[in-house]
Structure 1
């Protein structure tokens, strides 16, 4: 399974094999196991530099990327934890700006796995404990930590006193986990999602949010109050808009005119603005407007509307732009639809997990596609070509690999490869563009 990856380092591979043997015991939800595991390791989560903790359906990874870039532009030393990895497991743990080394990674995983051998921890619980250990052992000015799934029951939700928490966009995804029946939780799906994500709130810490439909907004406010968090809401406490080729941000402390992100997609301005709001509404780390602007310009985030460079894969379609996006839910599809609104003809190569909505990407791209090619999602059960047929008038063609799909494309038109982060990781590997 690509969740666990492989490594050229034998010591790392031994621990990845142990990780691959783990599973989440059926019906077990809660933070008890991660708390016990961390206690055996000396509670490293209690000894971290100031933490910026980010949840959301889409945009949380990009928001973390903007936070890291802005903090580093200030000259600060930053640890970062994002997920999932695309090619190498090391991508999940970045220490002082650098991917964790193979030697340290093998040692961290062994220590955590040995400590929790009788607890039956999950892949995510082991990963979280390992990153907390790493971050507690290396001095830094701040940490940026992305929530893995949901928020309330995510293994990262044991951070005692974050500098700030942020919630990016809200949408329906991971329904089997986030919408499972449970007493005492909201019944409306989006309200339930808001409840899960906002539950990373902590007493006294700012909880900074985007704008949501009213029911979700009310639920976020309720959760923030229940946790004693300071709610900082877009369109009430901070405002941002794209205007005149710039990002205009304001809050009660003043106004900023910032550059638009280099990351493609209009939605990235919203993610950058959320990062700015998080920094401006906390008091533990100082970041200047100049560093914020530099961070927005320099931020890079692979497999999110990434224009691939020259490589073995793009050489199969010379003279064309080849875009890569790991989005797989309706919100991600809407972002793609906006970005490619005037971009025709466009050839879509898609591979999507079988538990995802096959129309999530195709519906917003209706009328924009010149061809539709379906490939597997590496290591996972994926949708068949027939699953996509109801959402397109095009002939749906099937290929065993991305190179085969690219080689068979008609001679004109740019290319979008989308539908899964697992597929995106394989594409980056094939094109020799490994995330660093």
Structure 2
């Protein structure tokens, strides 16, 4: 019996990262061939790309399908606390035994060749998904689309484009049009493409890409419309309840998911009813996105929230929501990676916050920005009440010690930061499974 653990194999695989960046799919196809091409033996695939909203959209689709009695395999990244969160098999998080078996198969087949961590784990997910039956696979790109390790599947029945904005510019391009082109490359002939409403520069690229490749593209604003009311929100003429996930941007994510299941109904006999969609909207869970942390003990009158958004587009989504919180003071606890546009993230939040505490991000794949550097950026971004702390717990203790009136605390800036917090506070509920 092997004495390997999931953590040990993941660590070994992470050390195989190529010294020279080669964002082709050649390595991925070669590895998958050695594994018997499991990506060709999957249930029908719904493939999603986008800058923000991918995970939330897939969470909605999964909720709708499960309310209708359908099963789905789900692949998302990154995880919050445990790697197993990334791979869901038929509604259940992959077990350590299943995951270890798949990772060892990948490691053996690869035989020490250069390989990115995401390529390795995506191959492991394909192995797991090909071994168990399900009605659909919900597949999230890691970064971009054109050369993403997930863009090797043949059984794609729907491609989705969530909100597009600037992120990962060194890899995807320095204009929105370039980024849109990278994402649109997941379009497959014969598979309908659905997109949220995009800025004109991005929408034009999506339409051109679809036309050139004979892909039917349906878009928010043209093929479906959203209207938010006090009672709920309208998807075209149908009234649905407000989604459990908070934020104005979640209506667009929910609508993209509704459009997706309605397309599945018409082409793949998914038979998801509007009442099942409504039930899914109410019960959907996606931790780390405007999540209330009600289990964390705070003095009376205080609220704690968490959001893992980490780019300017995510900050805009937060800024659109924050006016709803004008009944209490808002205090930000923020940590970010050096690879992220901290200035354009923070300057959108500064008008709404009474203070910011900057903290380090630990256990991330990329270096975290030091709290001192982030504090300087916060000052130049418009924050005035700034304090540097060495962890989230100290920031929370300082905020609730009596110097401030009771208010809301928002932990934000990185999913890795939230993962650290959940790992250190086991009593705080994390339902990402």
TM-score calculated relative to the size of structure 1:
0.91
1:198 aligns with 2:192: no
Post-superposition Cα deviations, 1:266-310, rounded to whole Å, max 9, x if no partner, equal 111110100111122241233222221111111111010000022
Which shifted more, 337-346 or 46-55? Answer: 337-346
Q: How does 1:275-354 map to 2 (within 5 A)?
A: 275-282=257-264, 283-284=267-268, 285-310=270-295, 314-343=296-325, 344-354=328-338
Post-superposition Cα deviations, 1:85-129, rounded to whole Å, max 9, x if no partner, equal 111000110011111001111111010111012431110111111
Question: What RMSD, in angstroms, separates the aligned Cα atoms of the two structures?
Answer: 1.6
In 1: Cα distance, 2:160 partner to 2:352 partner: 34
In 1: Cα distance, 2:222 partner to 2:102 partner: 43
Post-superposition Cα deviations, 1:144-198, rounded to whole Å, max 9, x if no partner, equal 111110111110011113121100101000111111xxxxxxxx70111110111
The alpha carbon displacement at 1:414 in A equals 1.3
In 2: Cα distance, 1:16 partner to 1:291 partner: 38
Alignment match, 1:83: 77
User: Would you identify which runs of 4 or more consecutive aligned residues in structure 1 move more than 6 Å?
Assistant: none
1:391 aligns with 2:381: yes
Contact 1:161 1:202 in 2 (8 A): no
The alpha carbon displacement at 1:382 in A equals 1.1
SS of 1:232's equivalent in the other structure is strand
In 2: Cα distance, 1:79 partner to 1:85 partner: 16
SS of 1:113's equivalent in the other structure is helix
The alpha carbon displacement at 1:427 in A equals 1.4
Contact 1:316 1:403 in 2 (8 A): no
1:382 aligns with 2:369: yes
Q: Of the candidates 411, 423, 427, which is equivalent to residue 429 of structure 1?
A: 423
Q: How does 1:20-39 map to 2 (within 5 A)?
A: 20-39=14-33
Alignment match, 1:418: 412
SS of 2:165's equivalent in the other structure is coil
Contact 2:14 2:116 in 1 (8 A): no
In 1: Cα distance, 2:409 partner to 2:316 partner: 17
Alignment match, 2:214: 228
The alpha carbon displacement at 1:316 in A equals 4.9
Q: How does 1:128-143 map to 2 (within 5 A)?
A: 128-143=122-137
In 2: Cα distance, 1:149 partner to 1:66 partner: 21
SS of 1:80's equivalent in the other structure is strand
Q: How does 1:210-229 map to 2 (within 5 A)?
A: 210-229=196-215
In 2: Cα distance, 1:237 partner to 1:387 partner: 41
Which shifted more, 386-395 or 325-334? Answer: 386-395
The alpha carbon displacement at 1:415 in A equals 0.4
Contact 1:317 1:406 in 2 (8 A): no
In 1: Cα distance, 2:149 partner to 2:158 partner: 18
The alpha carbon displacement at 1:10 in A equals 5.5
Contact 2:73 2:129 in 1 (8 A): yes
Which shifted more, 50-59 or 340-349? Answer: 340-349
In 1: Cα distance, 2:410 partner to 2:253 partner: 22
In 1: Cα distance, 2:87 partner to 2:155 partner: 21
SS of 2:205's equivalent in the other structure is helix
In 2: Cα distance, 1:132 partner to 1:302 partner: 24
CA gap of 1:329–1:96, structure 2 versus 1, over 3 A, is same
SS of 2:354's equivalent in the other structure is strand
Q: How does 1:39-188 map to 2 (within 5 A)?
A: 39-179=33-173
Contact 1:205 1:229 in 2 (8 A): yes
1:367 aligns with 2:351: yes
In 2: Cα distance, 1:386 partner to 1:167 partner: 35
TM-score calculated relative to the size of structure 2:
0.92
Contact 1:191 1:215 in 2 (8 A): yes
Q: Of the candidates 174, 187, 207, which is equivalent to residue 193 of structure 2?
A: 207
CA gap of 1:318–1:359, structure 2 versus 1, over 3 A, is farther
Give aligned pairs, total. 413
Post-superposition Cα deviations, 1:239-282, rounded to whole Å, max 9, x if no partner, equal 222124222113xxxx4221110111111111010011112224
SS of 2:24's equivalent in the other structure is coil
Contact 1:316 1:407 in 2 (8 A): no
